[in-house]
A and B are shown apart, each in its own frame.
Chain A
């Protein structure tokens, strides 16, 4: 009956007029389903998401959650106070400028000019987005086409791959590989890219490389030499660099965060991401920004005006005011950009110590707020875990959450399907947690080490 109707529809307009009423006359079911109600091809295979799965697991309040990267410490008081005052100002409850609230883009320009040694045009070279996540989407949709290749360094923040695929492009993966450590402490700086292997990934179809420094999940802070290798290849192959620097302020003693956009030849081909959530410990504000040359930013602006149009006004104003406070005292230890990494370094060291006590092999991160650790030495008995097709670390984390009430994130979630096995013995712990959370984790670990498996 349905196909008969369709044939009728392709006839002339008289027939079409009849068919409008035919369904009623013939008493056909009017809620016939889903012949065409199918998803667009661009999202095929992108429905699974590690966070949805694991945050559900860790939602049990008796679990100590060291999984998802969200602080359970309070943001700085002045940040909260600013937002509170602003919500009372009428005009700040209405739409603001689509590409970024004026006072915020001015503050960002003023801050970042210190690093770029160029003047930054707040209206043309900055875009405010819905978190750094939203920025990644704008950049990939704006600049990556079907058939392009994008180089992704593994392990990678998990959204890079699905976003690249959603744009119809092909991700090309290259793993960070560890040097042998020979007794000394394993550091994130031991994980490097092989320059020749990296060069072999570039070709004329390579549109962009996504760089993440400081790196999630390993915590690596790329050195000048390492960035120079990447820069040279970008220039040689006329490639874009999307530089995810959300953890830019979180670098620990002995390390310096370097911006690849400041390297010779790179400003014109790099977009750099920042995040309010990671800068001021306010992940729920979902504000991020991108900085780059206008000929790149304008395409991200086009995506913005066709997706969400503008970001929330009161949050942007509050962020601007918080920035002004810290911009004025950048050399002061009280400046949040200085005080937060100092606070986190202590927590990092504590977490490393705890994981070592547990018998794990943690990799000391030079930046960021995660530690990954090799859990294979524990030789936990996971035979009771269902779904034996899952990588080892998925099973380990589920087992640990269920039996030890401690949650983390499996590092193979940050790898593509083919290379999950390379990282399946690693698990990621987040340490931007208040002392009582770390105390609770310590209790669990103490009890664990007293038990047999």
Chain B
């Protein structure tokens, strides 16, 4: 029997059984009776098969609608391809290249996780003349010592252009072990307790893949950095949400991120026998909350009681203001052995593009992350790691002193925060004062009351429509906070917008100009 590509028969195409069984498809087409002709690539597949199927559908009218759709799709695809075809390419070759696979392509683990809000808002922000206060990265350079560290890594040993150790460039794992060992009050061994990853994002992914199984539950506090949910889903886990709720504020007073709290009873109720992990983010993105010792002790006690792993995302650990203190939950009694502490060079040294992160924890957990790491990226780029190692050396020397970047950065950034808080209020936005992180959220309830009907899709939460309106009409880009909530809660928490204040003075001045114009437009 002649073997040929008959999956592209529009009639067979619509039949899932036929798609998966070549012998069956052959059998069906032999009923059609012209399979040998159909093997001719151009004529057969683009002309004969559709004609054949017209004939078949005449016999079976039910197939007609689907058949026409499929044929139309094929011809449209052909038209598209002919447009891209370069001069001299044979028509036959083009024809052969038209036919996509009939099999389902993507793995099921990708179901429901393909949408990405950053792509959408990032694109909009680049299309309009805006001051971009959306995505969380500084628009000022890393400190000089960090840049010099990178330069040194590039210009010294040329072997730094080659692979380093899989689990981390040795000088980096060594300094991370000593630096964080002191902070956590723990003896940290470089080879067992430190894993270097592609950004903190990579550390999170590695942790989920290593430890979360099908059916495992992961407790996520809302609002949450948006990747936690899809990463849980991709690992086959089930996200269980618990909400940080703001306490009511006095009139005239600004809300504070510290007033956003978990209800202890509600939190306790989320733990079941299937709970594998809880993900904690302090300082929190987007609210800017810095969890207090008492709050962390509550979380710690529940994790221990229910034998749950704590994944602690502490990328903003140095960005704390107003005398607040960042506490690592791994330093609390009984927590080191069940906690992964995730950090970021990008946030620590204002060099987000270097994409160097790490996970610290007991060997009993890290060994599983190492297995994932060696089966995913295997190595991280060497020179970025060398630069980060050198930068940490600098910080270790200056630790706690006014010359430390980890002291200077939050001091500078606090001024930017305060500037932004003052400025945003001038147009009726009500910022929630953050104690930490790169971000503040602003309440837009007044706008929701005054202009409830902003353009957008039917199901689109208000804050998303507001951000798009603000980008188009006011020249300011931010991120709607509903993207940081689980789908069922988005409509409930659709009255906040997130701004990043880790921006240069000139950016904040440009923001002021846009806000002034906005304010002028508000006057009757």
Contact = CB atoms under 8 A, between A and B. Distances in A.
Interface of A: 5-6, 9-10, 13, 16-17, 19-20, 23-24, 30-37, 39-43, 46-47, 49, 51-52, 55, 68, 70-72, 74-75, 80, 83-84, 87-88, 90-96, 98, 117-119, 130-131, 133-134, 137, 141-146, 159, 162-163, 166-167, 204, 207, 235-238, 240, 264-269, 277, 281-287, 293, 295-296, 298-299, 302-303, 305-315
Interface in B29-85: 41, 84-85
Contacts of B352: 93-95
A323 to B, nearest CB: 16
B60 to A, nearest CB: 24
A43 B384 contact: no
B233 to A, nearest CB: 9
Contacts of B333: 30-31
Given A43-B372, A74-B158, A308-B198, A142 B97 contact: no
Interface string B81-116: 000111001001100111111110111111001101
A232 B113 CA distance: 34
A295 B100 contact: yes
B3 to A, nearest CB: 6
Contact of B268 (A20, A91, A144): A20
A312 B354 contact: yes
B209 A80 contact: no
A288 B176 CA distance: 28
Contacts of B416: none
B59 to A, nearest CB: 26
Given A30-B334, A299-B105, A35 B380 contact: no
B141 A90 contact: yes
A70 B164 CA distance: 10
Given A20-B298, A51-B378, A284-B382, 15 more contacts: A20-B264, A20-B302, A33-B337, A34-B364, A46-B371, A46-B375, A84-B151, A88-B151, A93-B354, A131-B379, A133-B378, A162-B375, A207-B103, A282-B162, A296-B105
Nearest to B160: A284
Given A130-B198, A268-B101, A286 B379 contact: yes
A43 B151 contact: no
7 contacts: A52-B166, A94-B137, A264-B92, A268-B97, A284-B160, A284-B381, A302-B114
Contacts of B273: 6, 9-10
A13 B110 CA distance: 36
A83 B354 CA distance: 13
B231 A306 contact: yes
A159 B211 contact: no
Nearest to B338: A37
B154 A17 contact: no
B409 to A, nearest CB: 15
Contacts of B230: 306
B411 interface: no
B353 A96 contact: yes
Nearest to A33: B337
B351 A308 contact: no
B374 A49 contact: yes
A93 B353 contact: yes
Q: Which 6 A-B pairs have the closest CB atoms?
A: A313-B353, A284-B382, A264-B96, A30-B334, A31-B334, A90-B141
Contacts of B183: none
A13 B346 CA distance: 42
A141 B107 contact: yes
Given A74-B158, A133-B377, A238 B384 contact: no
Nearest to A71: B162
Interface string B360-391: 00001101101110111111111110000000
Contacts of B306: 9
B507 interface: no
A265 B302 CA distance: 57
A285 B355 contact: no
Contacts of B235: 40
Nearest to B304: A30
Contacts of B214: 41
A43 B375 contact: yes
A32 B304 contact: yes
Contact of A42 (B110, B147, B209, B298): B209
Contact of A307 (B105, B155, B202): B202
A409 B158 CA distance: 24
Contacts of A6: 273
B108, B269, B370, B379 — most chain A CB neighbours (10 Å): B379
A286 B377 contact: yes
A93 B5 contact: no
A40 B213 contact: yes
A137 B375 CA distance: 8
A308 B206 CA distance: 9
B175 interface: no
Contacts of B264: 20
Interface stretch (B18-26, B288-296, B445-453, B459-467): B18-26
A266 B318 CA distance: 51
B227 interface: yes
A283 B110 contact: no
A40 B351 contact: no
Contacts of A282: 161-162
A310 B205 CA distance: 13
B185 to A, nearest CB: 15
B351 A93 contact: yes
Contacts of B212: 40
Contacts of B234: 141, 306
B113 A306 contact: yes
Contacts of A80: 154-155, 158, 161
A52 B381 contact: no
B171 interface: no
B271 interface: yes
